[in-house]
Chain A
Amino acid sequence: MLFTFLPILSLTAFILIIIIIEAFVKNKDIVYHSTLVALICVGLTVIFNFNKNTDFLPDFISKMLVFGNLPSFFDLLFILSGLLIVYLTKGYLARLYSHLSEFYPLLLTSIFGMMLISHSKNLLVLFIGIEIMSICFYALSGFIRTDIKAIEASIKYFIIGSFATGFLLFGISFIYGATGSLDYQAIFQGVIYNQLTNNLYLLIGVSLLIIGLGFKLAVFPFHQWAPDVYTGAPTIVSGFMSTAGKAAGFIALISFVSRILMNIEYVHSSIQGNLINLQYIIAGIAALTMIIGNITALVQKNFKRMLAYSSIAHAGYMLMGVVAANYAGIKGIAFYLLAYTFMQIGAFVVAASLENDSSTEVSLIHFKGLAKKQPLLAALTSVMMFSLVGLPPFAGFFGKYLLFKSAIEGGFMWLTIVAIIASMISIYYYIRIIIEMYFSKEESAITVVNLNYNKVVLIFCTAAIIILGIFPNVILKLFN
Chain B
Amino acid sequence: MNPLLITLLIPILGATFIQLLPRDKPKIIHRSALIFSVTAFLISLVLLFGFKTNIEQYQYYAYYPWISDLNAGFRIGIDGLSLMLVLLTTFIIPLAIWISSDSIKVNIRQYYSLILLLEFSIIGVFISLDLLLFYVFWELILIPMYFIIGIWGGKNKIYATVKFFIYTMVGSLIMIIGIIWLGHYVGTYIIHNSVGFTTSLVEIQRYANQIPINIQNILFWMFAISFLIKVPIFPLHTWLPDAHTEAPTAGSVILAGILLKMGTYGLIRFNLGILPQASLAFAPFIVSLGVVGIIYGGLLAMVQKDMKRLVAYSSVAHMGFIIIGIFSFTVIGMQGAIIQMINHGLSTGMLFIAVGFLYDQRHTRLTEDYGGIARLIPRFSVFFGLAVFASIGLPGLNGFVGEFMALYGTFSSPFLNNHTYAIVASLGVIIAAVYLLVMYKKAFFGKITNPDNNILKDINLKYGIIFVIITFFMFWIGLFPSHFLKFSETTTNKYINNIELIIDK
- For A480, list chain B residues within 8 Å (CB): 69
Cβ of B180 and Cβ of A408 under 8 Å apart?
A: yes
A389 engages B169 (CB within 8 Å): yes
Q: Which residues of A contact B68 (CB under 8 A)?
A: 473, 477
Q: Are B143 and A401 in contact (CB under 8 A)?
A: no
**A198: shortest Cβ distance to chain B, in Å?**
29
Across the interface, do B169 and A405 meet the contact criterion of CB distance under 8 Å? Answer: no
Question: How far, in Å, is A400 (CB) from chain B's closest CB?
Answer: 8
Nearest Cβ distance between residue A20 and chain B, in whole angstroms? 46
Q: For residue A474, give the distance in angstroms from its CB to the closest CB of chain B.
A: 10
Type the 1/0 row for A424-456, where 1 means its CB is closer than 8 Å to any CB of B. 100110010011001100000000000000000
Number of A-B residue pairs, CB cutoff 8 Å, is 83
Bound Cα distance from A409 to B192, whole angstroms: 14
| 0/1 interface trace, chain B 330-370, chain A, CB 8 Å (1 if under) | 00000000000000000000000000000000000000000
Q: Does A35 touch B at the CB level, under 8 Å? A: no
A408 touches B177 (CB 8 A): yes
* 24 pairs from A and B in contact (CB 8 Å cutoff): A331-B69, A389-B169, A392-B136, A392-B139, A397-B136, A405-B183, A408-B177, A408-B181, A409-B184, A409-B188, A409-B195, A417-B177, A423-B173, A424-B170, A427-B165, A428-B166, A431-B146, A431-B162, A434-B146, A434-B150, A435-B150, A438-B150, A476-B70, A480-B69
A402 vs B488: C-alpha distance when bound (angstroms): 36
Instruction: Tell me the minimal C-beta distance from B259 to chain A in angstroms.
Output: 17
B143: A residues at CB distance < 8 A: 386, 391
- Sort chain B's interface into a size bin: 35 or more
Q: 1/0 per residue B174-187: CB within 8 Å of A?
A: 10110011011000
Q: Are A476 and B165 in contact (CB under 8 A)?
A: no
Given A391-B143, A439-B158, A408 and B184 touching (CB < 8 A)? yes
- Contact, CB under 8 Å: B139 / A439: no
In the bound complex, what is the Cα–Cα distance between A409 and B143 (angstroms)? 30
- Whether the Cβ atoms of B184 and A477 lie closer than 8 Å is no
Is B190 located at the chain interface by the 8 A CB criterion? no
- Point out the residues of chain A lying under 8 angstroms from B166, CB to CB: 424, 427-428
Question: From residue 164 to 216 of chain B, which have CB atoms closer than 8 A to chain A?
Answer: 165-166, 169-170, 173-174, 176-177, 180-181, 183-184, 188, 195, 197
Chain A residues within 8 Å of B161, by CB: 439
> Considering the chains assembled together, what is the distance between the CA atoms of A428 and B67 in angstroms?
30
Q: A404 near B: Cβ within 8 Å?
A: yes
**Is A405 a contact partner of B150 (Cβ separation < 8 A)?**
no
Assess whether A9 is interfacial by the CB under 8 Å rule: no
Do A393 and B180 touch across chains, with their CB atoms under 8 A apart?
no
- Which of B69, B140, B170, B181 neighbours the largest number of chain A CB atoms within 10 Å of its CB? B69
Q: Is the interface of A mostly helix, strand, loop or mixed?
A: helix
- Interface size bracket, A side: 20 to 34
Q: Is the CB of B180 within 8 A of A431?
A: no
Tell whether A376 is near chain B: CB-to-CB under 8 Å.
no
Q: Is the CB of B150 within 8 A of A473?
A: no
The minimal Cβ–Cβ distance linking A136 to chain B, given in whole angstroms, is 35
Contacts of A397 in B (CB 8 A): 136, 139
Residues of A within 8 A of B (CB): 331, 386, 389, 391-393, 397, 401-402, 404-405, 408-409, 413, 416-417, 420, 423-424, 427-428, 431, 434-435, 438-439, 471-473, 476-477, 480
Asked if B135 CB lies within 8 Å of chain A CBs, one says yes
A17 to B: closest C-beta gap in Å? 40
B448 near A: Cβ within 8 Å? no
Contact A472 B67 (CB under 8 A): yes
A409: B residues at CB distance < 8 A: 184, 188, 195, 197
Residue of B nearest to A423 (CB): B173
Q: How far is the CB of A318 from chain B (nearest CB, A)?
A: 17
Please report the C-alpha to C-alpha distance between residue A24 and residue B258 in the assembled complex, in whole angstroms: 69
A435 and B158 in contact (CB under 8 A), knowing A391-B143, A393-B140, A408-B180?
yes
B300 within 8 A of A: no
Q: Which of B136, B169, B184 contacts A427 (CB 8 A)?
A: B169
Name B68's closest neighbour in chain A (CB-CB): A473
Nearest CB of chain A from residue B13's CB, rounded to whole Å: 16
Tell me whether A416 and B177 are in contact in the complex, defined as CB-CB below 8 angstroms, given that A391-B143, A438-B150 are known contacts: yes
In the complex, what residues of B have CB within 8 A of residue A473's CB? Answer: 66-69
CB distance B197 to A435 under 8 Å? Answer: no
Tell whether A401 pairs with B176 under 8 Å between CB atoms, given A391-B139, A439-B151, A439-B157. Answer: yes
A405 touches B69 (CB 8 A): no
Residues of A within 8 A of B177 (CB): 404, 408, 413, 416-417, 420
Which A residues lie within 8 Å of B67 (CB)? Answer: 472-473, 476
Min CB gap A47→B, angstroms: 21
CB-defined contacts of B181 to chain A, threshold 8 Å: 408, 413
B254 CB to closest chain A CB, in angstroms? 19
Q: 1/0 per residue B133-147: CB within 8 Å of A? A: 001100110110011
A363 CB to closest chain B CB (Å) equals 19
Return the chain A residue nearest B158 by Cβ: A439
| Closest beta carbon of chain B to A376's beta carbon, Å | 12
Task: Known contacts A420-B173, A427-B166; decide if A401 and B69 are in contact (CB<8 Å).
Answer: no
Q: What chain A residues lie within 8 Å of B140 (beta carbons)?
A: 392-393
Contact B173 A424 (CB under 8 A): yes
Given contacts A404-B177, A405-B197, contact A439 B150 (CB under 8 A): yes
1/0 contact trace for B407-423 toward A, CB 8 Å?
00000000000000000
User: Quick one: closest B residue to A420, CB to CB?
Assistant: B173
The answer on a CB contact under 8 Å between B180 and A401 is yes
